[in-house]
Structure 1
């Protein structure tokens, strides 16, 4: 009901959508054999195995499977590229607005988070077996409610707006281990499935900060310093870097409503574009075929066009139509019923755009190559010597450079200077 298949199934494909465990139920880890973590991703593996065993009964081809997802779904797709458990279960991949290298998509101290969570619920033991026994006695609804408590986040995570508490993690090596090393190390070493890939972001991912009313309420430099940089909170070093970043985006030393559009670009970059750029680099380094895109299409039927006026009626004109927000692309692939957004029938312009997008995505799903007559141009695979991406907007055009080059160069220098994320 949330992601209706109506549009996609008209393109002569078989669509499978799944449910899997989320949050604390899907990604709590005590870093041991009893609760190693990544249960949500292992649910997805079971679904992929089901497809292999059964999809031919529905007219599908188990030897021609494409996995795709958006946001955490995009990161999930990337994780399957990295996991030995997913090997051979799919043949192409589409990553929309999320990779495993996104700042919010990986936790490196899961046991610490699990013990904090148990303590929040009343268990102060540090013994993993005792903690697990306690958590199994807590009603599921209570677990799910407690996972949203701000006390589980560090001060920097609370300020920064991009943190997710329970996410994928490294497990001890074994036959049932989904992830045996960090995504960064696996990518560096080329330990991932070499399949054709479409990957990209929207040009204003950070607009979700407006539509979901998570604009910062304080003026602190901490909110401009990514959580994965090894810098002490409230230190002089953090203050200096925060000012440098704010100056780069907005040419000012203070946050205000006047620079929210620049803050949106900042969130777009640290939350999505930087991770995408790093992922791209590793894919190309190890010979993957990738098609990059930047989604810029705006429309009254996009999620942000409905949610922003509800969140800030007096400021909507400042943001609506300025670009495509995180999730806006889903409205053109699925008949959606999500976030209390009413279904809006597409205009003629929307329908033309949707037809092209649906045909491009499903052509790739069928063949591993997105080029088709409806596309109206040649979408060239990206490469280091001739970088390129497809702009998907009111007009579709190939742009012969890397995504957001000046902004990505700025962040590359920041991470080199302050040491790369662990």
Structure 2
């Protein structure tokens, strides 16, 4: 077929724009496609992003406000839904995270410039605003006193057809301080997520999400909130439909408090509040600036840290009180429940190394107290920092019987106890709470409850201070530490954004597993490629996620995973640390002997005394490299 001259000219005119469009691979127009209208609220301007691997274009709406500012008389109270707005809401750039102890330097600069407590926002990322795709609501973690939704960038997960929503909630004293009164009822941070889910349920269809397929996931504190959403009587069924617990649940002792007023009074005292009545206490706490409240909270936490869990206020769910969130202990609510959601949950293999590393760094100040501590002292210290003071000694009895043998109990030193202490910390703080939550879940949903252990040891740890390069002065390696599975779902923090080829393969596997569960309710997808059996007993079966995936029968064996690896020649003990330590001790002993001999000679012959140096020498024990 011959083309006329005008057809040829037309093709020549059109071809450059077609080629340019293909080169740029633009699916969306920056001006037309990034603005959406939310009925009865207003318009939102988002932006275009590209995913990490295929450079797929997606739309992101950053820090969309879902609540009015929780300030003034509304501090500590349940959040209020966002009011309609007139101008187009700019959702193209990150706003501030909720105030926390790690953002205090920023608060000092911003406190007079803007409302730092106006932080109740969510970021929504979608492949297509006209679709009806399953939704993953990811609640960021840490221990309810720090973190933000920037911890969950969409670069990996949005390779798949899901909508990712990452809400922010009030942290520390702003979200969890309580006097059990109407003024400061407690559980405000939980109520933030509850309101966020109502916003998502109502408006997610305008972002391309399906309101009938919402999965709530979280890590550590975020997982505890996700679990509490399944238990609290104020949360109506149908608000979400599935859950994922990463290293946490609502029955973690660190997150529970029945008498929070005592801690609130102690924090207020740090802020020099004058208190005669509870009303005085409430008024003073509400009138403090954000920086003053955080400073008092931090001073109180540092003062009480050695006492362990249960002595620091402002980081726990309040049991009882006027909020109605938790009328009784969550374990009692679990026993009474006759309903559960499809669920998946688990922990990294060496989850306890994070807690033990903090004990060594903060409590021991990197000086191992073998001269002062017995095995019982080490066990007691770990128990205090994971579940609180063991007043009845029943827990100590269980730990000593199940994790330690008689020679270690009589003659153990820190280096010989490391694997067991990591396992004790990981089991009490993370593995057991997740297992108990899934046990109860399995009772009512036996075909849709999936348990895992994350065993893949990649190049990085999610917490940089736990990385091999950063942590060479620690007596042990981090192993597969707390929340390490998250770095294969989200390119965060900065030091883990450039993955090696094996780590990238693991990231692709993790994205497949998590999004398969979000889409179909099964980690291996509707096609069931492979086999991940749901739980059928109190302890399994479960999946070991590693370079190859294998099925385990009894999850109780994971309680001693670090010790098992040690016995199989895969030790986390850093031998070079102890070689250096022993070498230093030998050198110190040698210097002491030489000094003692020198002093004896000086006493015998005063002329050898010499002139005393006026130069102060540094204490070697105070120098840290």
Counterpart in 1 of 2:265? 115
Query: 1:163 and 1:60, CA in 2 relative to 1: closer, same or farther beyond 3 A?
Result: farther
Q: What SS does structure 2 have at the residue aligned with 1:342?
A: helix
TM superposition shift of 1:102:
1.4
The separation in 2 between residues aligned to 1:396 and 1:53, in whole angstroms, is: 38
Query: 1:356 and 1:309, CA in 2 relative to 1: closer, same or farther beyond 3 A?
Result: closer
Query: 1:392 and 1:403, CA in 2 relative to 1: closer, same or farther beyond 3 A?
Result: farther
Does residue 301 of structure 2 align to residue 145 of structure 1?
A: no
Query: 1:159 and 1:118, CA in 2 relative to 1: closer, same or farther beyond 3 A?
Result: closer
Counterpart in 1 of 2:281? 131
TM superposition shift of 1:141:
1.1
Q: What SS does structure 2 have at the residue aligned with 1:263?
A: helix
TM-score (norm 2): 0.58
Q: 1:189 aligns with which of 322, 336, 352?
A: 336
Greater shift in the superposed pair: 380-389 or 242-251: 242-251
Does residue 306 of structure 2 align to residue 158 of structure 1?
A: yes
Counterpart in 1 of 2:344? 198
Does residue 522 of structure 2 align to residue 369 of structure 1?
A: yes
Q: What SS does structure 1 have at the residue aligned with 2:451?
A: strand
Query: 1:142 and 1:359, CA in 2 relative to 1: closer, same or farther beyond 3 A?
Result: same
Does residue 326 of structure 2 align to residue 179 of structure 1?
A: yes
Does residue 237 of structure 2 align to residue 80 of structure 1?
A: no
Q: Is the 8 A contact 2:309 2:389 kept in 1?
A: no
Q: What SS does structure 2 have at the residue aligned with 1:384?
A: coil
| Structure ranking higher in strand proportion | 2
Q: 2:179 aligns with which of 16, 22, 30?
A: 30
Q: 2:452 aligns with which of 289, 293, 313?
A: 293
Counterpart in 2 of 1:66? 215
How big is the alpha-carbon RMSD for the aligned residues of Structure 1 and Structure 2? Answer: 3.2
Query: 1:183 and 1:277, CA in 2 relative to 1: closer, same or farther beyond 3 A?
Result: same
Counterpart in 2 of 1:418? none
Q: What SS does structure 2 have at the residue aligned with 1:300?
A: coil
TM superposition shift of 1:131:
0.3
Q: Is the 8 A contact 2:453 2:543 kept in 1?
A: yes
TM superposition shift of 1:356:
1.6
The separation in 2 between residues aligned to 1:162 and 1:201, in whole angstroms, is: 23
Q: Is the 8 A contact 1:203 1:295 kept in 2?
A: yes
Query: 1:22 and 1:138, CA in 2 relative to 1: closer, same or farther beyond 3 A?
Result: same
TM superposition shift of 1:142:
1.7
Larger radius of gyration: 2
Q: Is the 8 A contact 1:213 1:311 kept in 2?
A: no
Query: 1:167 and 1:255, CA in 2 relative to 1: closer, same or farther beyond 3 A?
Result: farther
The separation in 2 between residues aligned to 1:17 and 1:42, in whole angstroms, is: 15
Counterpart in 1 of 2:489? 333
Q: 1:251 aligns with which of 408, 418, 421?
A: 408
TM-score (norm 1): 0.83
Q: What SS does structure 1 have at the residue aligned with 2:453?
A: strand
The separation in 1 between residues aligned to 2:532 and 2:403, in whole angstroms, is: 35
TM superposition shift of 1:172:
3.6
TM superposition shift of 1:242:
7.7
Query: 1:8 and 1:403, CA in 2 relative to 1: closer, same or farther beyond 3 A?
Result: farther
Question: What is the total number of aligned residue pairs between the two structures?
Answer: 395
Q: What SS does structure 1 have at the residue aligned with 2:209?
A: coil
Stretches of structure 1 lacking an aligned partner (at least 5 in a row): 409-422
Does residue 251 of structure 2 align to residue 104 of structure 1?
A: no
The separation in 2 between residues aligned to 1:265 and 1:84, in whole angstroms, is: 34
The separation in 1 between residues aligned to 2:408 and 2:154, in whole angstroms, is: 45
The separation in 2 between residues aligned to 1:225 and 1:213, in whole angstroms, is: 11
Q: What SS does structure 2 have at the residue aligned with 1:85?
A: coil
The separation in 1 between residues aligned to 2:396 and 2:457, in whole angstroms, is: 36
Q: What SS does structure 2 have at the residue aligned with 1:260?
A: helix
